[in-house]
């Protein structure tokens, strides 16, 4: 006889499914959660740069990406038998990898092994350093780089007569640290076919002595004649320079860099051969926009290692070379107010065309007239090209007129700035442009208060690619000569959090990459830096002494202090 269960009228198949489904779902979700086993777990004091969750105790990494952030206990649930767990002291600090938004990357790599003139304090030392370096070179080899600073010995510009005698067999073409004027010895001028009869060029200067003879100093557009005859480096030399540059920035916590222009094939070669350990946003010159647009249409904008789409141009030159364009003259040269390297009409035409093609325009502007003119151009293009995500960048934005400060935020224009320049130029800027104009020199706080997105970089090799020194500069504004212990125009000092954000999340935004890097969040790349001290809690003047212990790019260690 068939037996009937007493509850059978109630346990229909549908009811059984409804009863057990929540239990099965819960068990499945728990099982699924435990299946996420991290390759690495990092535990420590972690600042994420994510405003919604700025501080966490741990993060988990799978492959090259972060899969979870949170408190230590919940992250350790993702630990498996093969998971590597790294625990850092509570006095140490973990931050997103620094992004340097303005470098001349391979050029800087070459500069690491060129003649070192930046620290030459006197005319005699300048000459001796070149003489000593020339002894290491074969006859006919060019001596390049240098990054000299004539303000170190009082402001007198060097002259080819200083070095001709000590470089009889080697052309010399050494650049001032700002990159806007260079010194050629007589051999270099001869190689370029430049004589005392050379005609002046628009947007450049051939400096002459009282007898109208060339001194060897060439500024901005005048430098092109010599640049064209400098022998190109071999691909092997370029690759070595790139590797040297990547190793250098890794030692200072830089995981991504924006290369303003030049050596584009060098980066492509490294990417193809899986040699990149630094992520690169590689830009071209603005007048190359058609070629870049064709390249992007053919192969896209790149990947997480090498991205393209940016275009660089110049309005004016630099303060130290007296080629930055101001409304009023320089105090020490009352007949001179600088000049435009690129005419306003040409700059507008090129920038609008490039923007219309969907490319990213970033323009160097240092003097107040140059910045004002560039803002006019950007605003005109935005009005004509319609509403979209422009992210125009003003590179340097150095000496901005007070009335122009609110215009950047209003136009969604980024200020791409280099804080180290403020404490470097601050040694001598007032004698050149006066106190009033210096009040808004590198006006970090005023721009941030106005709502501008400020991003930081170095301009390497013009300044060192050392973000911790940049953070120190932005927070303290103590000039390199130690003459401003309370800060040079201290009203422009900003907080550590603002400065680090400018080197991380805002820097990623400056290349349209905030979705994959710039903060330590789930789904973003595991690019991070471990510092030996907590820069948020130590005395601000101590920040420049903080050391990078480790730099990780995509979860892999690319630098570790021994």
Tell me what pLDDT residue 35 has. 62
**Among 449, 299, 462, which Cα is nearest to 366's?**
462
The number of residues in the chain equals 562
Pick left, alpha or beta for residue 147 (phi over 0 → left; psi -120 to 50 → alpha; otherwise beta).
left
- Structural domains in the chain plus CATH codes: 106-227 (3.10.310.70)
Q: Is the four-CA dihedral 373, 227, 284, 179 of positive or negative sign?
A: negative
- Per the structure block, which two tokens stand in for 362? 């970033």
Tell me what pLDDT residue 71 has. 97
State the CB neighbour count (10 A cutoff) for residue 357: 15
DSSP-derived secondary structure for 420-485: HHHHHHTTTHHHHHHHHHHTTBT-HHHHHHTT--EEE---BTSS---HHHHHHHHHH---TTS--T
Q: How far is CA 335 from the centre of its chain?
A: 34
Angle at 456 between CA 416 and CA 444, to 5 degrees: 75
Angle at 441 between CA 439 and CA 443, to 5 degrees: 85
- Does the predicted model carry a pTM greater than 0.85? yes
Find out whether 377 and 348 touch, Cβ atoms under 8 Å: yes
Tell me what pLDDT residue 179 has. 84
**Measured between alpha carbons, how far is 146 from 178 in angstroms, rounded to an integer?**
11
pLDDT in tens, the chain (562 residues): 444 443 344 444 444 444 445 544 544 444 444 468 999 999 999 999 999 999 999 999 999 999 999 999 999 999 999 999 999 999 999 999 999 999 999 999 999 999 999 899 999 999 999 999 999 999 999 999 999 999 999 999 999 999 999 999 999 999 998 888 999 999 999 999 999 999 999 899 999 999 999 999 999 999 999 999 999 999 999 999 999 999 999 999 999 999 999 999 999 999 999 999 999 999 999 999 999 999 999 999 999 999 999 999 999 999 999 999 999 999 999 999 999 999 999 999 999 999 999 999 999 999 999 999 999 999 999 999 999 999 999 999 999 999 999 999 999 999 999 999 999 999 999 999 999 999 999 999 999 999 999 999 999 999 999 999 999 999 999 999 999 999 999 999 999 999 999 999 999 999 999 999 999 999 999 999 999 999 999 999 999 999 999 999 999 999 999 8
**Measured between alpha carbons, how far is 516 from 205 in angstroms, rounded to an integer?**
44
**Measured between alpha carbons, how far is 262 from 337 in angstroms, rounded to an integer?**
29
């Amino acid at each position: 006889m068939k037996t009937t269960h007493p509850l059978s009228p109630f346990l229909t198949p549908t009811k059984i499914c409804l009863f057990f489904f929540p239990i099965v779902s819960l068990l499945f979700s728990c099982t699924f959660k435990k299946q996420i086993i991290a390759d690495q777990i990092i535990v420590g004091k972690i600042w994420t740069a994510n405003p919604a969750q700025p501080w966490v105790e741990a993060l988990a990494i799978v492959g090259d990406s972060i899969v979870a952030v949170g408190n230590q206990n919940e992250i350790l649930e993702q630990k498996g038998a093969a998971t590597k767990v790294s625990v850092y002291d509570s006095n140490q600090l973990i931050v997103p990898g620094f992004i340097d938004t303005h470098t001349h990357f391979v050029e800087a790599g070459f500069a690491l092994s060129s003649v070192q003139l930046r620290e030459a304090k006197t005319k005699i030392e300048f000459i001796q350093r070149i003489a000593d370096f020339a002894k290491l070179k074969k006859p006919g080899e060019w001596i390049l780089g240098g990054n000299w600073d004539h303000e170190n010995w009082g402001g007198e510009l060097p002259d080819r007569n200083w070095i001709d005698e000590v470089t009889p067999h080697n052309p010399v073409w050494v650049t001032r640290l700002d990159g806007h004027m260079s010194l050629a010895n007589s051999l270099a001028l001869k190689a370029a076919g430049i004589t005392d009869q050379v005609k002046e060029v628009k947007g450049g200067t051939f400096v002459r002595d009282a007898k109208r003879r060339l001194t060897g100093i060439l500024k901005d557009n005048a430098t092109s004649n010599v640049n064209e005859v400098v022998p190109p480096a071999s691909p092997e030399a370029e690759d070595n320079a790139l590797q040297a540059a990547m190793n250098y920035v890794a030692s200072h916590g830089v995981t991504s860099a924006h290369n303003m222009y030049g050596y584009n094939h060098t980066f492509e070669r490294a990417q193809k051969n899986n040699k990149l350990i630094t992520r690169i946003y590689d830009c071209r010159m603005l007048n190359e926009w058609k070629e870049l647009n064709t390249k992007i249409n053919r192969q896209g904008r790149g990947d997480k290692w090498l991205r393209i789409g940016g275009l660089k141009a110049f309005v004016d030159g630099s303060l130290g070379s007296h080629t930055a364009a101001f409304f009023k003259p320089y105090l020490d040269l009352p007949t001179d107010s600088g000049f435009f390297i690129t005419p306003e009409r040409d700059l507008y035409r090129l920038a609008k065309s490039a923007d219309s093609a969907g490319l990213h325009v970033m323009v160097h502007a240092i003097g107040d007239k140059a910045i004002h003119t560039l803002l006019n151009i950007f605003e005109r293009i935005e009005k004509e090209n319609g509403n979209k995500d422009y992210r125009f960048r003003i590179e340097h934005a150095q000496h901005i007129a007070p009335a122009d400060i609110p215009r950047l935020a209003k136009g969604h224009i980024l200020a791409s700035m280099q804080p180290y320049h403020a404490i470097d130029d601050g040694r001598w800027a007032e004698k050149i442009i006066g106190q009033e104009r210096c009040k808004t020199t590198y006006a970090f706080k005023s721009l941030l208060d106005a709502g501008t997105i400020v991003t930081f970089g170095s301009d390497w090799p013009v300044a060192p690619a050392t973000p911790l020194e940049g953070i120190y500069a932005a927070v303290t504004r103590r000039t390199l000569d130690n003459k401003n212990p309370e800060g040079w125009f201290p009203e422009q000092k900003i907080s550590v959090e603002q400065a680090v954000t400018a080197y991380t999340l805002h820097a990623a935004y400056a290349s349209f990459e905030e979705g994959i890097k710039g903060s330590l969040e789930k789904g973003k790349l595991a690019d991070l830096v471990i510092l030996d001290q907590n820069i948020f809690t130590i005395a601000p003047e101590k920040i420049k002494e903080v050391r990078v212990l480790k730099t990780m790019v995509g979860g892999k260690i690319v630098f570790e202090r021994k």
